[in-house]
Structure 1
Amino acid sequence: MNATTSTNTNGTTEAEKTSFADKAHVQLDKGKEAIADAAGRSKEAISGAAKSTTAAVKKKPGTTAAIVAGAAAAIAGAAFGASKLIDKKKTGAKTKSASGTGSSSSGKSTSSKSGSTASKSNSK
């Protein structure tokens, strides 16, 4: 038997293995080319966007400054709101834990009730 017609334990011939490996390499090469092409197009698109943004900033710097100030205000407002929510959650957690300890010190615990029940049953 030669190497191209021999079969292994799962019934696959060496020729089929070689054919599969060749097909896999072809697909891998196609994938590499597609990624390189997409990267090149992305680079061109980003470069074009950067150039048009730079040109717009140079034409109307006042408008650009207003946009930047508005974006900064929006970010600052979001950060302030988030910090208030976090503080509110922390305060709520402290209040809940404080009210939980206050209710157990009210004098009406379950152990005193069961003790009085036990003393009543002993007196009968």
Structure 2
Amino acid sequence: MNATTPNGTTGSTGSNDTKTEADKTSFADKAHVQLDKSKEAVAEAAARSKEAIEGAAKSTTEAVKKNPGTTAAIVAGAAAAIAGAAFGASKLLDKKNSDTKAKSTGAKSSAAKASDTKSGTAKSGETKSTTK
């Protein structure tokens, strides 16, 4: 189907809208080459990582064999740190739960009661007269 263009020449319509088969094949080939390069790079990185992990494991094992007392002390310290963190977290959760229960029942926590007495608020909500 030919059409007349504004300058008077004839040409086919829609030729600029579609790519030729050669262009499509070229793009697919480039994508395939890039994919192959990416696969190779990932495989190389995985191999280097594996070697590094094996080296670290081997050196750690050797250090443990040479200094078992030091290793035991490090493990005990790490266990104590973990236990301390767990204890602290449980105390924070207990405090949060008790404050939540006190709010739901309308009771005030001990911290709220202490702040009320410092600010001069009486139980009925009126302010105390403070004379010195």
Query: TM-score surpassing 0.5?
Result: yes
CA distance in 1 between partners of 2:92 and 2:105 (Å):
20
Aligned CA RMSD, in angstroms, stands at: 1.8
Identity %: 76
Q: Normalized per residue, which structure has more strand?
A: 2
Q: Runs of 4 or more off by more than 6 Å in structure 1?
A: none
- Aligned equivalent of 2:63, options 56, 61, 64: 56
Q: Which residue does 2:52 correspond to in 1? A: 45
How many angstroms does 1:83 deviate by?
A: 1.0
Q: TM-score, normalised by structure 2?
A: 0.67
Counterparts of 1:32-111 in structure 2, within 5 Å, are 32-99=39-106
CA, structure 1 residues 18+85, in 2 after alignment: closer, same or farther (shift >3 Å)? same
Count matched residues: 94
CA, structure 1 residues 11+76, in 2 after alignment: closer, same or farther (shift >3 Å)? same
CA distance in 2 between partners of 1:92 and 1:8 (Å):
75
Task: Provide the secondary structure at the position in 1 that maps to 2:39.
Answer: helix
Q: TM-score, normalised by structure 1?
A: 0.71
Q: Which consecutive residues of structure 1, in runs of 5 or more, have no partner in the other structure?
A: 1-6, 101-124
CA distance in 2 between partners of 1:67 and 1:8 (Å):
74
Q: Normalized per residue, which structure has more helix?
A: 1
